[in-house]
Amino acid sequence: MLVGLGRPTVPAAAAQPATALAALAADLDQRLGLPAPAGRRSERLVDAARGKPVDEVTDLAGDGTPIAVSRFDLDGGLVSSVRLGLTPAALSPIPPAQATASATALVARLAIPAGGTPLTTPRSSGGWLVRWVRVAGGVPVPGDGVSIQLTAAGQFHAVVRTSHRLAPRPPVAIDEAVARGLAGSRLDHWLGPDLRPDATIAGLALAWVAPNDTFGDPIPAGSAGLLHLAWIARVTTSGVLADRVAGLELAFDAGDGAPLGGDLLE
């Protein structure tokens, strides 16, 4: 599966002029080192995963077979590109450091903002995933950033950019001790005296997250499509509780401490 390509999609209003999209795609192909296609087709879609319209350009071989698909936002910025029907070269696999260097050079050629140190990991299907996590105001935005996929030998396979809108940063934030107290109180309420000792708050960290109703918490009004600055409490379990729940992540608004949901690890 290609990371972050955002299928499924549905048709939307007409795309921007085909000549403009063709120029964008041609420039992108050149930067990626992809062969010039025999033809191209374009359409405007609504990316259902992001809820945003994108212009999609498909590169075609002489027989009409798609060989690459690229997406651009309505300002012409790159959203994603994937090379189709790729046959990995019969070359020796490159080491992680070389994969990182190759992906970093590719990001530079694409002129994509990607700050910080990337994380390079082998993909289960083979090849490498090199990822830069977006950071806003010194706080990570999990799920946002830039991902480059390479074959085991370092050939380009795909690039994905993900960026969500952020809610205004609270003028005054609660500190870690307050967030720890909120998480502890919630665990006290949920678990009671018998199971509470089996739940340990292993750590807290700030992150930009999308509020959810995993624990029945109301989602703040006007939060659709917005990420909020939150304290994330990571909870580990042991004993009897571990047989039912592997762990929890609890989110609290960094401004007023309101619960914003979290994640249940089963």
Per-residue pLDDT of the chain in tens (266 residues, 90 and over written 9): 344 444 445 554 555 677 889 999 999 999 999 989 999 999 999 877 677 899 999 999 999 999 999 999 999 999 999 999 887 666 788 999 999 999 999 999 999 888 788 999 999 888 999 999 999 999 999 989 999 999 999 999 999 999 889 999 999 999 999 999 999 999 999 999 999 999 999 999 999 999 999 999 999 888 888 999 999 999 999 999 999 999 999 999 999 999 999 999 87
Instruction: Mark whether 198 and 156 lie in a shared domain.
Output: no
Question: Does residue 205 form part of some domain?
Answer: yes
Give the model's pLDDT for residue 265.
86
Give the model's pLDDT for residue 38.
96
**Domain boundary at 116, 137, 164, which?**
164
Count the residues in the chain. 266
**Domain boundary at 164, 199, 214, which?**
164
**Domain boundary at 101, 132, 164, which?**
164
Instruction: Mark whether 31 and 134 lie in a shared domain.
Output: yes
Instruction: Mark whether 141 and 62 lie in a shared domain.
Output: yes
Give the model's pLDDT for residue 125.
80
The rounded distance, in Å, linking the Cα atoms of 49 and 91 is 36
Question: Does residue 2 form part of some domain?
Answer: no
Range of the domain at 209: 176-265
Instruction: Mark whether 108 and 155 lie in a shared domain.
Output: yes
Instruction: Mark whether 150 and 116 lie in a shared domain.
Output: yes
Instruction: Mark whether 147 and 185 lie in a shared domain.
Output: no
Instruction: Mark whether 41 and 109 lie in a shared domain.
Output: yes
Give the model's pLDDT for residue 39.
94
Question: Does residue 152 form part of some domain?
Answer: yes
Give the model's pLDDT for residue 19.
85
